[in-house]
Amino acid sequence: MKPIVIVNFKAYEQGTGEKAQRLSQICSEFGAWVAVQPTDIRLCAPHATVLGQHVDAEGFGAHTGSVLCEAIKQAGAVGSLINHAEKKMTDEEVGTRVLRLKELGMTSIVCAENLDRAQRLKQYNPDYLALELPELIGGDISIITAQPGIVKQAVELLGKNVLLGAGVSSGADLKQALDEGAAGVLLASAIVSKTDDPQSALRELYSKI
C-alpha cells in the first residue's frame, strides 16, 4: 500500500507563498501530501495533494475570520489537519470539524498529543489519527526512535490508519512505521525549515521503502 507522507509547511517562510508552491511540487514528485496555509492552497493545489492545516466549524455566513471547510475545498484542498499541537482544540471541537469535512467528502486527519487523547478522539472516526508528541516536535530525535514500541502500540489501540509525527526525518523512521503497521508519517522541519535541499531530504525519507 502507498504510504501516507504529509509534509506540514506550518508557517515557515520556506513554506509560504511562492516558496510553498515550489516545495509542494517537489513533495508531490515523491507522492507526499502537503499541509499548507489557507492563503497558499489555491497556489499549491494544481501541483500537489493539498490539505489545510486547520479548519473551523462554521459554514457560509457572517463569521469573520473563519476558515471554512467549503472555502478550502473550493480552493483545492482535499482535507485538513485538525487539532495540531500548535492549533489545539477541545474534543468536541474536533468532532464538529471531522463531521463537517465528512459532509463535504473531505479527508480528516486528527492530531493527538498522546495515546490517551488519540483513543478518545477515535470516537469521531476520522480518516487518519496522527500521534505527535509535542516535546519532540521540531527536534532531531523522532517519536519512533525516542519511544520504542510506540508504533505497534498505536496501531494496536487505534487501528491501521495511524500516522506518526514529531522529529521524523529518516528513511529508517518511515520504514519502521510502515513495517509495524502504521499508514505513514507526518513531518515538517526536516523538509521545510532545516534543509536547503528538500529534494535530497525527501529522497532519503523514501530511500528504504
Q: Give the HSE-up count for residue 52: Cα atoms under 13 Å, Cβ half-sphere.
A: 29
User: Contact, 122 vs 158, CB < 8 A?
Assistant: yes
Residue from 5, 8, 69, 158 binding ligand G3P (CB under 6 A): 8
Site string for ligand G3P, 147-176 (x = CB under 6 A): ------------------xxxx--------
Q: Catalytic annotation on 103?
A: no
**Can you name the residues that pair with 201 across neighbouring β-strands?**
none
Site string for ligand G3P, 49-88 (x = CB under 6 A): -----------------------------------x----
The cell for 124 is 469521531
For 71, the enclosing helix (H) or strand (E) is helix 69-75
**Which candidate in 47, 84, 113, 180 is catalytic?**
84
166, exposed or middle or buried, with CB in 10 Å at 0-12, 13-18, 19+?
A: buried
Beta strands 107-112; 184-187: pairing state: unpaired
Q: How far is the CB of 64 from ligand G3P (least distance, A)?
A: 27
Q: Is 189 in the site for ligand G3P (CB under 6 A)?
A: yes
Which residues bind to ligand G3P, rule: CB under 6 A? 8, 84, 132, 137-138, 165-168, 186-190
